[in-house]
């Protein structure tokens, strides 16, 4: 897992946090939410912070569309 998250906090999670996020045309995050909790509200918030810190993303090419949606699991499992 991420070294920025202490092992004691990782241990509070029962599973990975599953998030969905939408990247807008300019690379900004238009939507970000937890779709499956890890069982630890604190761990879930840290995961949301990881995604926020990754922004901004590269702009989306016009041929691709106005936004892209991603769903993924992040966690110690």
Rounded distance between C-alpha atoms, residue 69 and residue 24, angstroms = 9
- The structural domains of the chain, with segments of one domain joined by +, span 16-74
The 10s digit of each residue's pLDDT in 16-41 is: 999 999 999 999 999 999 999 999 99
Q: What is the pLDDT of residue 77?
A: 82
Q: Residue 47: CB partners within 8 Å, gap ≥ 6?
A: 17, 19, 34, 38, 74, 75
Position 3 scores a pLDDT of 59
User: What pLDDT was estimated at residue 11?
Assistant: 86
């Amino acid at each position: 897992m991420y070294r920025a998250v202490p092992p004691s906090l990782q241990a509070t999670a029962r599973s990975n946090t599953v998030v969905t996020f939408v990247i807008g045309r300019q690379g900004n995050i238009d939507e970000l939410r937890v779709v499956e909790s890890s069982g630890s509200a604190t761990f879930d918030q840290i995961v949301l912070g990881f995604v926020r810190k990754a922004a901004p993303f590269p702009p989306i090419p016009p041929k691709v569309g106005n936004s892209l949606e991603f769903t993924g699991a992040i966690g110690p499992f």
